[in-house]
């Protein structure tokens, strides 16, 4: 019996870790809020501690949601051969043992019934500390390819939660028996969007197809320029809402101002879409986006026809791997390298707009890869492992 078995008989105490980017942080938050809701039905609340780095996104998210937060000092191993990154790896190599020591002290003092990590280098110290103290430890992987931190931790995890069936092939052979495909937790609000509200929020025409374009919260210059070159050819057949990011907003606003007056009202450019995103997703006939883990999880859960433009410099080429996987399954169109041009975007979106049957077929294929109940599945794994 582990040191903490007795603790599991009482209120569920859990350490959650993971962060650095929204792709790691938001699945953790969605899991936490789903766990809280599940336990609230039984009249209890979990005791939570989120462990991360002080200047990471996870610190902001934890505080904003009333979750106690503990900061660790830790390091990151970069796969770049750039001399500057090699020097930073050398410096961080001395920080990693300190982070593991801090994590061990945190686990010893907290006495959690379970630990959950959602990736990022900050998850390594807690994962190792959980293994050291024999605390049941679950790791969740959002991407199709397994991230470096999770490849390390998969060897010690009690349970490995995957977002994609194909990820099994990326695990060490000995770890596959401990893996289960849950999907990637997505915000519940995404699943309850209202098409009419989405159209009304931007004064859109309900009788005209809607193309939603997003390069993520910060935008993507590559996508902005592709859209700029394709606008005049697409707007006669559709209306477009484009989330272009704060850095590209002035440039794209000028593009909008230069459109022909007969087409200008069909193009809405915004720096960031806030609470209206679920409603716009519900209204969209075609979505043009990056192929980050969170974006793909949402679009497949909703069954959207999509054109994916992977970020060329994603770690390990993970966005390219995901986009290619969906493209080969008929669940998306992929524009990459030489095909990431305004002309290719025009042709791809135009093809989907002109063929409703093809959009419907792609949407069905996307749905086959979606797991809208992922958060519930992850919570069920947490509760199952603490009930042992």
pLDDT, greater one: 142 or 95:
142
Average pLDDT over residues 99-128: 94
Q: Average pLDDT, whole number, for the chain?
A: 92
Instruction: Please tell me the predicted confidence (pLDDT) of residue 5.
Output: 41
Flag whether pLDDT at 207 surpasses 80. Answer: yes
The larger pLDDT score, comparing residue 299 to residue 315, is at 299
- Condensed to tens digits (0 to 9), the pLDDT of residues 301-334 reads 999 999 999 999 888 899 999 999 999 999 999 9
Provide mean pLDDT across the span 328-354.
97
pLDDT confidence of residue 216: 84
Residues 6+ apart with CB under 8 A from 101: none
Phi-psi region of 219 (alpha: psi -120 to 50; beta: other; left: phi over 0): left
More confident residue, 23 or 332: 332
In percent, the amount of the chain with pLDDT more than 90 equals 81
Cα of first residue to Cα of last residue in the chain, in angstroms, is: 10
Q: Domains for the chain: give ranges and CATH numbers.
A: 6-186+372-386 (3.40.50.2000), 189-369 (3.40.50.2000)
Distance CA 379, CA 374 (A): 9
Report pLDDT for 377. 98
Report d(CA 310, CA 340) in Å as an integer: 9
What's the pLDDT score for residue 99? Answer: 86
Task: State pLDDT tens for residues 372-383.
Answer: 999 999 999 999
Say what the pLDDT of residue 79 is. 55
Write the pLDDT tens digit of every residue in 213-271: 999 878 899 999 999 999 999 999 999 999 999 989 999 999 999 999 999 999 999 99
Q: Compute the half-sphere exposure of residue 211: CA atoms within 13 Å on the CB side of its CA.
A: 30
Place 85 in a pLDDT band, splitting at 50, 70 and 90: low
Per-residue confidence (pLDDT) for residue 217, from 0 to 100: 78
The pair phi, psi for residue 187, each rounded to 5°, is -60, 130
Of 43-52, 88-97, 265-274, the one with minimum mean pLDDT is: 88-97
What does the pLDDT look like over 125-156, one tens digit per residue?
999 999 999 999 999 999 999 988 899 899 99
Q: What is the pLDDT of residue 9?
A: 41
Helices 356-369 and 342-354: crossing angle, nearest 10°?
A: 100
Band the pLDDT of 20: cuts 50, 70, 90. Answer: confident
Which pLDDT score is estimated for 3? 43
**97 or 70, greater pLDDT:** 70
- Give the pLDDT band (50/70/90) at residue 77: low
Question: What pLDDT score was predicted for residue 172?
Answer: 86
Residue 243 to residue 356: CA distance in whole angstroms: 24
* Span 209-220, pLDDT tens digits: 999 999 987 889
């Amino acid at each position: 019996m582990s040191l903490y078995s007795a603790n599991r008989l009482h209120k569920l105490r859990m350490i959650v870790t993971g962060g650095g980017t929204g792709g790691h942080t938001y699945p953790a938050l969605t899991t936490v809020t789903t766990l809280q809701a599940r336990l609230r039905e039984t009249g209890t609340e979990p005791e939570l501690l989120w462990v991360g780095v002080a200047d990471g996104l996870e610190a902001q998210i934890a505080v904003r949601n009333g979750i106690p937060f503990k900061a660790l000092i830790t390091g990151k191993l970069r796969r770049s051969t750039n001399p500057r990154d090699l020097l930073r790896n050398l410096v961080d190599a001395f920080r990693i043992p300190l982070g593991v020591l801090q994590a061990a002290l945190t686990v010893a003092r907290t006495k959690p019934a379970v630990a959950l990590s959602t990736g990022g280098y900050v998850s390594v110290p807690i994962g190792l500390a959980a293994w050291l103290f024999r605390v049941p430890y679950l790791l969740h992987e959002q991407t199709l390819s397994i991230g470096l931190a999770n490849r390390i931790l998969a060897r010690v995890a009690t349970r490995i939660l995957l977002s994609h069936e194909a990820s099994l092939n990326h695990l060490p052979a000995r770890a596959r028996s401990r893996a289960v495909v849950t999907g990637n937790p997505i915000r519940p609000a995404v699943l309850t969007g209202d098409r009419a509200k989405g159209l009304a929020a931007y004064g859109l025409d309900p009788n005209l197809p809607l193309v939603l374009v997003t390069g993520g919260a910060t935008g993507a210059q590559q996508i902005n320029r592709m859209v700029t070159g394709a606008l005049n050819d697409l707007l006669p057949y559709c209306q477009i809402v484009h989330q272009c990011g704060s850095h590209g907003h002035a440039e794209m606003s000028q593009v909008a101002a230069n459109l022909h007056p007969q087409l200008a009202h069909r193009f809405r450019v915004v720096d960031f879409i806030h609470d209206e995103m679920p409603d716009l997703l519900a209204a969209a006939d075609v979505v043009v986006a990056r192929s980050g883990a969170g974006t793909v999880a949402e679009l497949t859960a909703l069954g959207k026809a999509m054109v994916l433009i992977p970020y060329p410099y994603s770690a390990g080429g993970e966005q390219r791997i995901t986009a290619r996987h969906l493209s080969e399954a008929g669940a998306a169109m992929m524009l990459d390298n030489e095909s990431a041009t305004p002309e290719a975007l025009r042709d791809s979106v135009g093809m989907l707009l002109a063929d409703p049957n093809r959009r419907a077929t792609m949407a069905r294929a996307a749905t086959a890869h979606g797991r809208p109940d992922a958060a519930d599945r992850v919570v069920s794994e947490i509760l199952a492992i603490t009930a042992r």
